[in-house]
Homo-oligomer: A and B are copies of this chain.
Amino acid sequence: MQQWKTRDRKIILDESPWLKVERHVVELPSGQVIPNWQWVTTPDYVNVVTVTEDGAFICFRQVKYGVEGDTLAVIGGYLNDGEDPLEAAQRELREETGYESPDWQALGSYRVDPNRGIAMGHLFLARRARLVATPIIDDLEEQHLLLLSRAEIERALATGEFKVMAWTAAVVLALRYL
Contact = CB atoms under 8 A, between A and B. Distances in A.
Interface of A: 1-4, 12-13, 15, 18-19, 21, 26, 28-29, 32, 34, 36-38, 40, 42, 61-67, 69-71, 73, 108-118, 121, 140, 142, 157, 160, 162-166, 168-169, 172-173, 176
Contact of A142 (B2, B32, B110, B169): B2
A140 B40 contact: no
Contacts of A166: 165, 169
A139 B162 CA distance: 31
B163 A111 contact: yes
A15 to B, nearest CB: 5
Given A38-B19, A40-B40, A165 B28 contact: no
Contacts of A110: 160, 162-165, 168
Given A21-B13, A110-B165, A140-B28, A116 B66 contact: yes
A70 to B, nearest CB: 5
B63 A4 contact: yes
Given A37-B65, A63-B1, A113 B115 contact: no
Contact of A172 (B37, B109, B169): B169
Q: Which of A2, A18, A66 has the most CB of B within 10 A?
A: A66
A102 to B, nearest CB: 23
Nearest to A172: B172
A4 to B, nearest CB: 5
Contact of A165 (B36, B70, B111): B111
A13 to B, nearest CB: 5
Given A40-B40, A142-B2, A173-B168, A67 B109 contact: no
B108 A64 contact: no
